[in-house]
């Protein structure tokens, strides 16, 4: 439709709405330029879901709908021009003779030889302009339609991994029991949510596959949400193996074209199973019977830009709308889901043993304070971890080494004036990365601003610059220096920039071409490498210093998950956790892999501090040119909120500078709303923005935030 001088694509969500306009206003409304689809583009339930997202997360309906459609519609289809019956009628053509200039005649002749039509770009290439075709269309001689071009994402090599075929394998008792409960729930055809809490290596994927098979056989479709397919290709591959062509994959590693092709296959009903990352929650599947959210605690389900939805929570709502069974799976459920299970909203199913009764990794803690006292502050590997790595190399077994921090050094510090080199755009210090042998660059992890590491302090010109802290790059270098024959690889955001790089590293790991894999949280994902018998954690407390109420939860999940990567094959596994805070409850409980104890302690903390899941939280981030402007605007909004008629139902905290007070050149102030009544908080925020409309663009509303940095 025309909008000002542009032509834009819109989505009709209601054709029968009563509109009350003056006759003069009606005259100003321009007609629709072209209707792109003969049938509804999005299924009704998906439109409803997107509208629910818009309301719940307080974003525009257009933003939510945009998340539900494949991104670049125009590139995925091609416009075909063909003659109408009238166009073949020489009489009719001649009747139009006076207007029929040479170009139009040429176009008609070109189309005469192609009853199926010719792509418009191809006609353009032969010198027949779209204008000419358009004029013929206006005269009824030519018609346009759209044709879709398809690509198979599996053949383009994005998702590749080895899969152990599951056919004929006997289920463990726990798997069988879980499957029985889930199968019975699916058969009722009613909405229910189950939390499948199974320790690492308990075989959750097998349960998903069998359940999906049951549901699919009953004529219903299945939606599987996974965190990041590039890092955890195993689940997608297992589904592909089991269901072949009946599976479509939706994830961000696909090209726009591939994504769109998959989307249209789903829309046409050619698949019964969709595996995808968070946006796949809007997949246009009909007759939905089952939604599985694997690793439901994973933060990648939350979109950190508008619309700021949580794919897991939207999945639960979709299940409710469409009377489907929802299964949330994890070894370390989020506090939210676990609390919902504890209060009876969800049904918890436990799988407490690994398959074949393999033991969980035995975990030991190394107090690095003692290690530093004895060997100095530059120690990276404790004696115990060193010995353990050496033993694995001798035995031909693999090790994973986790440090959840990238780079060579984490700060450049001046011993003369005490300043640290910071990003000019963000309030964080620059991280040093090696670029070749002697070229070191200090880079911002938020905005990517980079400088070559200077020889002298930019602030005082002193020559006493010192590097502090270390990240994965340093750890990998150190390993190569100590164990010169070991084959070492690194898996972090820096090494997986290239498409397919993550898959390459994972494949080398699976084939045994790597002895020691160093990495960030990426190595803690659901990988199943049977030859890994040792997991070393360098600084278990990296995340605990963050000013985020989920810091302990994140740390517990990360440590439990990474320990869960060891001992998944014949040989038992061992994990060695180095930390400065061996007594912190998240580290203590993770080392005993005691979810119940962690949940109890963490819930108490959330209760005392009034944080989710015991209260709802809204995070408003107000951006400004300078710190003052951001704080002033935030104070204005906070004032409106505190004067809201509903203010008895929630509390308003702040404004305060956000933990990352400056980001990509913008200053950020933060307001928290806490309370039991989400709708009241949302309405109050929207009302405050109605009162200050010019602030709208500068305010990010985050309902149920996953991080508040």
Give me the residues that bind ligand ADP (CB under 6 A), please. 164, 169-172, 175, 198, 200-206, 355, 526, 528
> Which among ligand ADP, Zn ion, none contacts residue 251 (Cβ within 5 to 8 A by kind)?
none
Least Cβ distance, residue 567 to ligand ADP (angstroms): 11
Q: Binding marks (x or -) toward Zn ion, 140..179, rule CB under 5 A?
A: ----------------------------------------
Minimum CB distance to Zn ion smaller for 453 or for 652: 453
Least Cβ distance, residue 705 to Zn ion (angstroms): 21
Our finding on whether 416 is near Zn ion (CB under 5 A) is no
Q: In the Cβ-directed half-sphere of 644, how many Cα atoms lie within 13 Å? A: 26
Distance, CA of 118 to CA of 102 (rounded, Å): 19
Least Cβ distance, residue 444 to Zn ion (angstroms): 3
Minimum CB distance to Zn ion smaller for 366 or for 431: 431
> Which among Zn ion, ligand ADP, none contacts residue 171 (Cβ within 5 to 8 A by kind)?
ligand ADP
Phi and psi (nearest 5°) for 459? -85, -50
How far CA 144 is from CA of 84, 147, 257, 493, in Å, comes to 9, 10, 21, 45
Phi and psi (nearest 5°) for 434? -85, 140
Least Cβ distance, residue 172 to ligand ADP (angstroms): 5
Among 77, 425, 427, 651, binds Zn ion (CB under 5 A): 425
Candidates 518, 516, 424, 421; CA nearest to 469 is 421
Binders in 426-455 for Zn ion, by CB under 5 A: 426, 444, 446-447, 449
Phi and psi (nearest 5°) for 273? -130, 130
Rg (CA), the chain: 29
Minimum CB distance to ligand ADP smaller for 210 or for 678: 210
Minimum CB distance to Zn ion smaller for 257 or for 659: 659
Per the listing, tokens 């999945």 go with 315
Distance, CA of 103 to CA of 48 (rounded, Å): 47
508-515: long-range pairs with CB below 8 Å, 24+: 509/398, 510/161, 510/162, 512/398, 513/487, 514/398, 514/487, 514/488, 514/489, 515/392, 515/393, 515/398, 515/399, 515/483, 515/486, 515/487, 515/488
> Which among Zn ion, ligand ADP, none contacts residue 172 (Cβ within 5 to 8 A by kind)?
ligand ADP
Minimum CB distance to ligand ADP smaller for 205 or for 338: 205
Least Cβ distance, residue 425 to Zn ion (angstroms): 4
Least Cβ distance, residue 532 to ligand ADP (angstroms): 12
Q: 526-537: b or e for each residue (b if 16 or more CB lie within 10 Å)? A: bbbbebbbbbbb
Our finding on whether 47 is near Zn ion (CB under 5 A) is no
Minimum CB distance to ligand ADP smaller for 232 or for 644: 232
Minimum CB distance to Zn ion smaller for 568 or for 662: 662
Distance, CA of 581 to CA of 556 (rounded, Å): 13
Least Cβ distance, residue 349 to ligand ADP (angstroms): 12
> Which among ligand ADP, Zn ion, none contacts residue 52 (Cβ within 5 to 8 A by kind)?
none
Torsion region of 656: left, alpha or beta (phi above 0 gives left; psi -120 to 50 gives alpha): beta
Per the listing, tokens 């010198």 go with 127
Candidates 584, 530, 587, 585; CA nearest to 558 is 587
Least Cβ distance, residue 528 to ligand ADP (angstroms): 4
The contact set with Zn ion (CB under 5 A) reads 423, 425-426, 444, 446-447, 449
């Amino acid at each position: 439709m025309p909008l000002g001088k542009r032509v834009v694509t819109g989505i009709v969500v209601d054709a029968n709405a009563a509109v009350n306009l003056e006759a003069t206003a009606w005259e100003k409304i321009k007609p629709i330029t072209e209707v792109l689809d003969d049938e509804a583009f999005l299924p009704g339930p998906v439109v409803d879901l997107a509208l629910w997202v818009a309301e719940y997360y307080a974003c525009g309906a257009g933003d939510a709908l945009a998340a539900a459609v494949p991104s670049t519609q125009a590139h995925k289809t091609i416009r075909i021009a063909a003659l109408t019956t009238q166009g073949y009628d020489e009489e009719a053509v001649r009747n139009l003779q006076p207007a029929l200039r040479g170009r139009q005649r040429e176009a008609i002749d070109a189309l005469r030889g192609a009853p199926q039509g010719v792509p418009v770009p191809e006609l353009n290439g032969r010198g027949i302009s779209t204008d000419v075709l358009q004029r013929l269309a206006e005269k009824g001689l030519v018609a346009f339609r759209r044709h879709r071009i398809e690509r198979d994402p599996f053949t383009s090599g994005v998702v590749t991994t080895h899969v152990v075929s599951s056919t004929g394998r006997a289920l463990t008792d726990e798997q069988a029991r879980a499957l029985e409960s889930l199968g019975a729930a699916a058969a009722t055809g009613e909405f229910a949510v189950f939390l499948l809490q199974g320790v690492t290596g308990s075989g959750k994927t097998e349960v998903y596959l069998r359940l999906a098979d049951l549901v699919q056989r009953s004529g219903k479709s299945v939606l599987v949400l996974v965190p990041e397919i590039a890092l955890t290709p195993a689940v997608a591959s297992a589904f592909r193996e089991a269901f072949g062509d009946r599976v479509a994959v939706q994830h961000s590693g696909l090209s726009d074209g591939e994504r769109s092709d998959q989307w249209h296959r789903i829309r046409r009903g050619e698949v019964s199973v969709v595996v995808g990352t968070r946006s796949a929650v809007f997949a246009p599947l009909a007759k939905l019977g089952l939604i599985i959210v694997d690793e439901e605690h994973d933060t990648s389900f939350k979109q950190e830009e508008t619309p700021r939805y949580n794919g897991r929570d939207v999945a639960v709502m979709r299940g409710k709308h469409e009377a489907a069974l929802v299964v949330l799976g994890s070894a370390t459920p989020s506090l939210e889901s676990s609390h919902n299970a504890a209060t009876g909203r969800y049904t918890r199913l436990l799988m407490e043993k690994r398959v074949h009764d393999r033991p969980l990794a035995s975990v030991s803690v190394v107090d690095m304070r003692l290690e530093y006292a004895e060997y100095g502050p530059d120690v990276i590997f404790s004696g115990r971890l060193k010995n353990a790595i050496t033993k694995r190399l001798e035995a031909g077994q693999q090790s994973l080494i986790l440090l959840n921090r990238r780079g060579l050094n984490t700060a450049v510090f001046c011993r003369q004036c005490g300043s640290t080199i910071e990003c000019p755009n963000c309030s964080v210090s620059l991280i040093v990365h090696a670029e070749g042998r002697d070229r070191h660059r200090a880079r911002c992890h938020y905005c990517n601003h980079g400088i070559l590491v200077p020889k002298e302090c930019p602030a005082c010109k002193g020559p006493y610059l010192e590097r502090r802290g270390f990240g994965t790059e340093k750890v990998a270098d150190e390993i190569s220096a100590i164990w010169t024959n070991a084959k070492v690889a690194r898996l972090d955001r820096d090494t997986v920039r290239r498409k397919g790089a993550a898959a390459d590293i994972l494949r080398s790991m699976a084939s045994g071409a790597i002895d020691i894999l160093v990495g960030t949280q990426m190595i803690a994902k659901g990988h199943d490498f049977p030859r890994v018998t040792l997991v070393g954690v360098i600084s278990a407390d990296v995340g605990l210093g963050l000013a985020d109420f989920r810091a302990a939860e994140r740390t517990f999940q990360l440590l439990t998950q990474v320990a869960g990567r060891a001992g998944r094959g014949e040989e038992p596994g061992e994990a060695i956790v180095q930390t400065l805070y061996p007594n912190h409850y998240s580290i203590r409980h993770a080392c005993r892999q005691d979810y119940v104890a962690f949940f109890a302690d963490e819930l108490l903390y959330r209760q005392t501090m009034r944080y989710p899941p015991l209260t709802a939280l809204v995070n408003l981030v107000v951006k400004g040119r300078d710190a003052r402007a951001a704080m002033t605007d935030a104070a204005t909004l906070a004032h409106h909120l505190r004067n809201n008629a509903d203010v008895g139902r929630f509390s308003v905290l702040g404004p305060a500078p956000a933990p990352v007070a400056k980001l990509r050149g913008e200053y950020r102030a933060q307001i928290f709303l806490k309370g039991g009544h989400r709708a009241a908080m949302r309405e109050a925020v929207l009302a405050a923005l109605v009162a200050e409309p010019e602030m709208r663009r500068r305010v990010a509303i985050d309902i149920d935030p996953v991080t508040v940095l």
